[in-house]
Structure formats: C-alpha cells, structure tokens
Structure 1
Amino acid sequence: MLTNKWVLTAGTSLVIIGLIFFGYLWPLVSRYDHVDPDGRTRQAAIVLGAALWDQQPSPALQERLNQALRLYHDGLVQYIILSGGLGNNGITEAEGMKKYLVDRGVPAEHLILEDRSSNTKENLKFTAEILQKHKWTELYIVTHDYHMYRALNYARQAGIHAAPAPVHSRVLFTPYHKTRECLALIKQKVFHL
C-alpha cells in the first residue's frame, strides 16, 4: 500500500512540475509566433542552420533561407551569415545554404559562412567571432519562431544584440517542435548549456 501511495504521489508531482514548466515555457517558445522583422536596415542577417537532405536544404531550412532572401531583396541587409557545421552529408550546412542562395541570385561575396558549429549555442558563439572581425553590430537572427527565444538567449551570451526575424513553419508540425524546444529550454536552464 505504501508503495502505491508513493508512486501515485511521485507521479502526481511529476505531472504538476511538468505543467508548471510547460505553463511557463510554452508561452516563451510561442512569443515570436506573430512577430515580423521590424523593417530596419541592418548590416547582416544570421541564418541558423538546420538539416540538409542529400546536400540540399531541408524544407524547414528552406523556410529560413527564404526569410533571409526576403530581407536581402527588400534591402534590409547587405550580407547573410550562414551558420551550420558538418552534418552527415559530406558538406556543411553553411555550404548547402550558400548554394541555395547563390542559385536564387545572391552574390557569393554577400554570403559569409560559419561552418564549425554543431548546435545553436555554437552557431552564435562562432558567429560572434565573424561579427567582431567585420565590426558588425546591427543584425537580424533568422530561425523558426519556436526557436527564436533560445536563439536570442544564446546570442546575448555571445555578446550579439540582434533583432528577431522569425519564420513560422508551413512544413513542420509545430506542436511537436515547440515541445522539443521547451525540453531544450529546461536543459539550457538546468545544465546552463
């Protein structure tokens, strides 16, 4: 009897803790759902990488790249920093993104590759080195809306002050990705990653 009571109490406690975490975190990963870029001209946009499929940007990564294309074609940025390291495709995410944008008319000299990173924190850490080299301080970050809160946190940790240019996905199942993002935020807060 004591064991069943303990299991019930522990289970109830975990559910309550989960509801508190998700009640707090879900609004954070949803806060950029309906945010548009502010329309100010900036020096560059930082595009955070995602998967390549057969050395081509996945549909989700294409959404991010198309947002960067809009910023570029609207004259809101002169340069696009493509951040993503080596995956399982033989080329880096940055190289795959570059090919996609060059094929759509962006001159290669306006694309800067950060190709060492393997996660969001490294995307922004290594991009900060590029920004210092170019002395750029006016930036957009391009990623999916559910990922923007964590990306901006990592940007601040890296000394990058950037405006959000979020993408709302039409190809991803957003509730799944928001749930994963909540778990990533818990990991970030608990383990200071």
Structure 2
Amino acid sequence: MFANKWMITGIVLFILVMIPFSYLWILVSRYDDTEPDRVPRQAAIVLGAALWDQQPSPALQERLNQALSLYKDGLVQYIVLSGGLGDNGITEAEGMKKYLMDRGVPAGHLILEDRSSNTKENLKFTAEVLQKHKWTKLYLVTHDYHMYRALNYARQAGIQASAAPVHSQVLFMPYHKTRECLALIKQKVFHQ
C-alpha cells in the first residue's frame, strides 16, 4: 500500500514536470525548419558562442557562415558581431571579425559589440550599436534552438529582427535543446 502511494506520487510528479517541459521543447524547436526570408536588410547580428584557441568554435563558425552567406548574397551590408571577453585573451567579437575578414568581408563592414557575456547582454549592448547607426532592418543569426529566447531578448532591447537561424551539423541537439529549455525556465522564473 505504502509503495503504491510512492509510485503514484512519482508518476504524478513526472507528468507535472513533463507537460511544461514538453511545451518548452516545442518553443526551442520552433525555428527548426525556418530559413531566412531573403529580404534585404541593413545588417545581421551574430550572437557569439565560443572561441577555441582564439578561433571560432565549430558551432560559432556555423553562425558566422550563415552571416557570411547573407552578406555575399547582398541581403545585408553590415554584420554586427556580438560577444565579449572569454578565456582566450581576445573577445568573441574580435575572433569572429578575423574569421570573416579571412573570408573576404572588409573590416569596415564588421561592427563589434565586445562587452557582453550572455545572450541578454548581447542584445542589450547591440541595441546601443544599432542606435548609433540608425539601423532598424535586421537579421538575427544564432542557432535554431536558441532563436526563441534570443528574439525575446531582442524585443526587450527594442530590436525588431527577422530570424536567420542556423541548423547545426556539429552540435548534439538533445543536449542543447534541453539546456535551452532550462535557460527559458531561468528566464521566466528570474524575469531576465
């Protein structure tokens, strides 16, 4: 009898956790099949990820390649690179700039936001850069699982951007989507 109560309690708790988590999973999967709308805009904002030995990680290279494609296709004139100082001695923005310059993007078309340390700051500080340039027509470049939360932070910062999600070939999606669901919980609970 006592064991049955524990089993029922466990099942109820499992269901109570899985229903909201399933909803969050749907939100982080929302941009899985989305492609950029291919409308010309002034700039693309690329959110930083990680540098490995002062070079963009494979995941960050995916984001940069998406922005490079938008640039080469004439859909943007400028690329805003957002990411602050990591453990590598240079900022993510500097590492991203070097990567894109090595692929033919002139330095004058790369704008750095190099103070941020998380997604919310990426967009808060990028909003200041955008105001200086008076840019309002933008793409936001990040991985598809990260796009929902990134667009929420963009709206909070007063940025209206169109999604240009990256569909990763190098990341293990179950891990990253689970981590993103937890980040959404943190965002909602702590109103970040």
- Interval of TM-score (by shorter of Structure 1 and Structure 2): over 0.9
Q: Please say if 1:14 is aligned against 2:20.
A: no
Q: Measure the CA separation in 1 of the matches of 2:17 and 2:123.
A: 29
Cα deviation, 1:157-178, whole Å, max 9, x if unaligned, reads: 0000000000000000011101
Task: Please state whether the residue corresponding to 2:99 is helix, strand or coil.
Answer: helix
TM-score, structure 1 as length reference: 0.95
Task: Give the total of aligned pairs.
Answer: 192
Q: Percent identity?
A: 82
Q: What CA distance in whole angstroms lies between the structure 1 residues aligned with 2:42 and 2:49?
A: 23
Answering whether residue 190 of structure 2 is matched by residue 191 of structure 1, we say yes
Instruction: Give the deviation of 1:22 after TM superposition.
Output: 1.7
What are the residue-to-residue correspondences of 1:114-153 with 2, within 5 Å?
114-153=113-152
The one-letter amino acid of 2:110's match is L
Partner Cα separation in structure 1 for residue 46 and residue 141 of structure 2: 5
Q: Extract unaligned runs of 5+ from structure 1.
A: none
Question: Match of 2:91?
Answer: 92
Q: CA RMSD in A?
A: 1.5
Q: Which residue type is aligned with residue 50 of structure 2? A: A
Measure, in 2, the Cα distance between the counterparts of 1:111 and 1:51. Answer: 18
5+ long unaligned stretches in structure 2: none
What is the CA distance between 1:14 and its match in structure 2?
3.3
CA distance in 1, matches of 2:13, 2:105: 50
Partner SS, residue 141 of structure 1: strand
1:28-177 equivalence runs, <5 A: 28-177=27-176
CA distance in 1, matches of 2:126, 2:7: 47
TM-score by length of 2: 0.96
Aligned partner of residue 136 in structure 1, secondary structure: coil
1:26 matched to 2:25? The reply is yes
Amino acid of the structure 2 residue aligned with 1:122? E
Per the TM alignment, residue 8 of structure 1 is displaced from its structure 2 partner at its CA by 5.8
Q: Distance in 2 between matches of 1:76 and 1:186?
A: 34
Residue 17 of structure 1 deviates from its aligned partner by: 2.4
What residue number does 2:178 align with?
Answer: 179
Name the CA distance, whole Å, in 2 between partners of 1:45 and 1:98. Answer: 13
